[in-house]
Amino acid sequence: MTKRRVWWGDYRTTEYASIDAEATIAVLPVAAIEQHGPHLPVSTDTSIMMGMLETVIARLPDDLDIRILPVQAVGKSNEHLHAPGTLTLPATTLVDAWTELGLSVARAGVRKLIIVNSHGGNEEIMGIISRELRVRAKMLSVKTSWQRFGRPAGMYTELEDRHGIHGGDVETSLMLHFRPDLVDMSKADNFVSNVGRAEKEFALLRHTGTHAFAWIASDLNPNGVVGDASIATAEKGRLTAEMQADGFINLVRDVRKAKLAEWLS
Model confidence at 208, in pLDDT bands (50, 70, 90)?
confident
The total number of structural domains in the chain stands at 1
* Residue 166 contacts residue 86 (beta carbons within 8 Å): no
Q: Give the domain extent around 155.
A: 8-256
Could you tell me which of 166, 76, 194, 191 has the C-alpha nearest to residue 126? 76
Write the single-letter amino acid at 239: L
74-91 pLDDT per residue, tens: 999 999 999 999 999 999
Rounded to two decimals, what is the model's pTM?
Answer: 0.95
**Residue 261: inside a domain:** no
Model confidence at 68, in pLDDT bands (50, 70, 90)?
very high
**Residue 265: inside a domain:** no
Q: Indicate the pairing of strand 227-228 with strand 190-191.
A: antiparallel
* Residue 142 contacts residue 115 (beta carbons within 8 Å): yes
**Residue 33: inside a domain:** yes
**Residue 113: inside a domain:** yes
* Residue 149 contacts residue 252 (beta carbons within 8 Å): no
Q: Residue 91: is it exposed, middle or buried by C-beta count within 10 angstroms (0-12/13-18/19+)?
A: middle
The whole-number pLDDT of residue 175 equals 99
Here the CATH number for the domain that contains residue 93 is: 3.40.50.10310
**Residue 264: inside a domain:** no
